Chain A
């Protein structure tokens, strides 16, 4: 199986975490390494098929059999559809009193300015963030339960990022939502 360890400035480790995009061939991510942020990688899984936007930072723990709690998994399915969205959510959560501009967030996540803006707007609509008149965004979940769940996600992502990534990509697809999405000329972030 292809291993993308060489793409990272990391050491190959025996405890690799397998992460799969639904329908794609499995590939390995380094299970234990420390590296600076890896951004916007395209990993070839099969010809012309890429798994985009994998970004890890900090130290990844070794493979664990402990699954993600159901509540956290449900929260992920309903609110987080990609790694980029997760990164931005956790960025907002990391400094809850700070008001972020799109530019400031972009400089941290190093994704795509337009995408960052769209993700901020999405979180505002989902009740995870608020937008000020000055056009800045701040972490402001509408309920304590949401706040707790995001905190749980932040901890889980630090300890088991592979599991979180897997949960995002294995989220069940709603055919009805996809029917409506089909008519969008420009796809959602």
Chain B
């Protein structure tokens, strides 16, 4: 039960971050906001896939899909952060 709540909360937190970032991106058109928003969206999808994998369809193994999605999110977010000038 706790595990299900954890997965969904993580997905919700990621979606919240994505919403904030994308809202500001449409106002400012800054690349960092776009890339980080996209990264958090992928994290949210990864957490949803985790929920589906472990709770809804435990007979199947979706570990590759959720890991690939997480990795995509990491790459996208890291790209946005690295290209930003401090």
Q: Do chains A and B touch in the complex (CB under 8 A)?
A: yes
Q: Could you say which residues of chain A place their CB within 8 Å of the CB of B85?
A: 175
- Give A173 to B23 CA distance when docked, in angstroms: 17
- Give A183 to B21 CA distance when docked, in angstroms: 7
A181 touches B84 (CB 8 A): no
Q: Does B70 contact A (CB under 8 A)?
A: no
From B24, B36, B86, A181 is in contact (CB under 8 Å) with: B24
Q: Could you say which residues of chain B place their CB within 8 Å of the CB of A178?
A: 24, 28, 30, 32-33
Q: Does B20 contact A (CB under 8 A)?
A: yes
Q: Could you say which residues of chain B place their CB within 8 Å of the CB of A179?
A: 21, 32-33, 36
Taking the closest CB of chain B, its distance from the CB of A52, in whole angstroms, is 13
Which residue of chain A is the closest to B21 with respect to CB atoms?
A182
A173 touches B28 (CB 8 A): yes
- Give A181 to B36 CA distance when docked, in angstroms: 14
B20 touches A175 (CB 8 A): no
Q: Could you say which residues of chain A place their CB within 8 Å of the CB of B20?
A: 182-183
Q: Could you say which residues of chain B place their CB within 8 Å of the CB of A176?
A: 32, 84, 86
- Give A175 to B86 CA distance when docked, in angstroms: 8
A175 touches B24 (CB 8 A): no
From B17, B23, B31, A175 is in contact (CB under 8 Å) with: B31
Q: Could you say which residues of chain A place their CB within 8 Å of the CB of B25?
A: 182
B86 touches A182 (CB 8 A): no
Q: Could you say which residues of chain A place their CB within 8 Å of the CB of B31?
A: 175
Taking the closest CB of chain A, its distance from the CB of B41, in whole angstroms, is 14
B23 touches A182 (CB 8 A): yes
Q: List 22 A-B contacts (CB under 8 A).
A: A23-B29, A173-B28, A175-B30, A175-B31, A175-B84, A175-B85, A176-B32, A176-B84, A178-B24, A178-B28, A178-B32, A179-B21, A179-B32, A179-B33, A179-B36, A181-B24, A182-B20, A182-B21, A182-B23, A182-B25, A183-B17, A183-B20
State the B residues within 8 Å of A (CB).
17, 20-21, 23-25, 28-33, 36, 84-86
Question: Nearest 5 A-B pairs (CB), nearest first?
Answer: A182-B24, A175-B32, A183-B20, A175-B84, A182-B20
